Amino acid sequence: MPAFTPPKADLLARLSTCPTLQVPYPPIETFKELEFQAEDLEKHLRASQSFAIHLHIPFCKELCNYCNCNIVVTRQYGLAAQYADYLKQEIQWYGQIIKGMSQKRLPPKQIYFGGGTPTFLLADDLRRVTYEIENSFGVSHAVDRDYCIETDPRTVDTELVSLVKSLGFNRIHFGVEDFSTQVQQVINRKYTFEKLKQSTSDVRSQGIQSVSFDVTFGLPQQSLGSFMSSLKQLLKLSPSRVVLRKYHHNPKIFTSQSLIDIESVPEDKTVMEMRTFAINHLQSSGYCAIGPDCFVSNDDPLCDATKSGRLQWTQHGYVPDVADTVIGFGLSAISSTPSAVWQNQLGLRDYTRQVRSYGHSVYRGTELSVDDQIRKEITQRLLCNLEVNKEEFESRWKTSFDHYFAKELSNLEQEFGQQMVISNQQKLRLTPSGQWFANQLASYFRRAG
């Protein structure tokens, strides 16, 4: 992708009023409670050809003040041990449905354990859960499988790495913020660069070469200087992937953020400077941008996937292979098939109660109309290919792209002229500037309401 030059202030202002794109498509606010029943799941799963598995383990020992995840802060391990039992039940429940289907499916090529802190679970409980996945869905031994676990760099040691390796994980993901003590103090997440270096080295010494980092910018007390220096240090560890995340201050929704003084959050201009530096520095350091916020080394499977058109975008970022169905296990996890999307219960008590009674914890969801399927596909194309081939679209959906999206194209034209998106006879294409705002521009193709 090209070098990043921040758009002029007026254009930036228009972009920042665009709704940010939500994962999954359609957005969660369109999900319906009660009307979406578990009995419907079998029908939706029947059409699936391939699976990815996402599993949410919501426990953390301590609260980071900037956190925006649905988590449970506790030091009582009993809650987590029980949770592992419920995860097992939930996996078995879906496993029964899948096993009862006529066609055979390959084992999942993507498994993602996210949190919270997945490694909050002790070894035996992590083993129980992963064995249940293997028992119900099988595991892939393909070299390009992506089995990733999020890990807290503060708690990693060789024993933990050896455990996750023995469970089949081949990628470790660390959330990294800023090494400045001032920032760490205010977000309540303290560790040194040396600790991260040691954790990364522990991972690699056990044969797991793929280490990815989330890097957050716009944090309270963060300055352009502290961010630049943290990012430069981080790249010395040669991560396979770096994902840039912007801090969103929203204490009404994320109550932990109420401990953060709004005055300590950097102003928009500084935040944009941080983003500009990060994008250009990552690219000049040899990282390949495969989307507006994801940067990978040349030997990362995402590079090949981009070239061969297999790249897919999911709620946990880009993945190197297309699975048409994601099954989410655990509190608030989201599942999607070609014809539906649903989410599990959001509260721990509701989640456990429902799994105990029914084996699943489906809380709300929605079926995808043909219109949703079309819009979901356009979102994928813009985020993964940065363009839509109109001929392919028309042959697949038997309708004219320009006619179908006349209103959306007119809105984009009115808002940005040709600066962000160009539409010609063959393609809808993001311009070099527009590529860095693919999330915002793709959101123009969401259904209204």
Q: Which stretches of the chain bind ligand SF4, using CB under 6 A?
A: 60, 63-64, 67, 69, 71, 115-117, 152, 175
Residue 29, amino acid: E
Q: Residue 56 to residues 98, 121, 314, 422: CA-CA distances in angstroms?
A: 20, 11, 15, 39
User: What DSSP line would sit under 317-361, residue for residue?
Assistant: EEESS--SEEEEESTT-EEEETTEEEEE-SSHHHHHHHHHHHS--
Q: Would you tell me how many other CB atoms lie within 10 Å of the CB of residue 246? A: 14
3-state secondary structure of 244: strand
CB 171 within 8 A of CB 148: yes
Torsion of CA 131, 134, 140, 143, to 10 degrees: 0
Quick one: 212 or 325, whose CB is closer to ligand SF4?
212
Quick one: 213 or 405, whose CB is closer to ligand SF4?
213
In the complex, minimum distance from the CB of residue 396 to ligand SF4, in angstroms, rounded to a whole number: 39
Quick one: 177 or 377, whose CB is closer to ligand SF4?
177
How many residues belong to the chain? 449
In the complex, minimum distance from the CB of residue 140 to ligand SF4, in angstroms, rounded to a whole number: 27
Q: Would you tell me how many other CB atoms lie within 10 Å of the CB of residue 103? A: 7
In the complex, minimum distance from the CB of residue 257 to ligand SF4, in angstroms, rounded to a whole number: 11
Distance of CA 218 to the CA centre of its chain: 19
In the complex, minimum distance from the CB of residue 174 to ligand SF4, in angstroms, rounded to a whole number: 10
Quick one: 116 or 365, whose CB is closer to ligand SF4?
116
Quick one: 64 or 274, whose CB is closer to ligand SF4?
64
Quick one: 7 or 118, whose CB is closer to ligand SF4?
118
CB 151 within 8 A of CB 71: no
- Rounded distance between C-alpha atoms, residue 410 and residue 33, angstroms: 34
Q: Would you tell me how many other CB atoms lie within 10 Å of the CB of residue 369? A: 12
In the complex, minimum distance from the CB of residue 212 to ligand SF4, in angstroms, rounded to a whole number: 15
In the complex, minimum distance from the CB of residue 187 to ligand SF4, in angstroms, rounded to a whole number: 8
In the complex, minimum distance from the CB of residue 249 to ligand SF4, in angstroms, rounded to a whole number: 14
Quick one: 7 or 115, whose CB is closer to ligand SF4?
115
In the complex, minimum distance from the CB of residue 152 to ligand SF4, in angstroms, rounded to a whole number: 6
In the complex, minimum distance from the CB of residue 58 to ligand SF4, in angstroms, rounded to a whole number: 8
Q: What angle do CA 293, 30, 366 make, to 5 degrees?
A: 100
Quick one: 169 or 247, whose CB is closer to ligand SF4?
247
Name the strand (E) or helix (H) holding 296.
Answer: strand 294-296
Tokens of residue 34, six digits: 């009660």
In the complex, minimum distance from the CB of residue 315 to ligand SF4, in angstroms, rounded to a whole number: 15
Quick one: 66 or 295, whose CB is closer to ligand SF4?
66
Tokens of residue 182, six digits: 């001032």
How many CA within 13 A on the CB side of residue 116? Answer: 27
3-state secondary structure of 46: helix
Quick one: 259 or 422, whose CB is closer to ligand SF4?
259
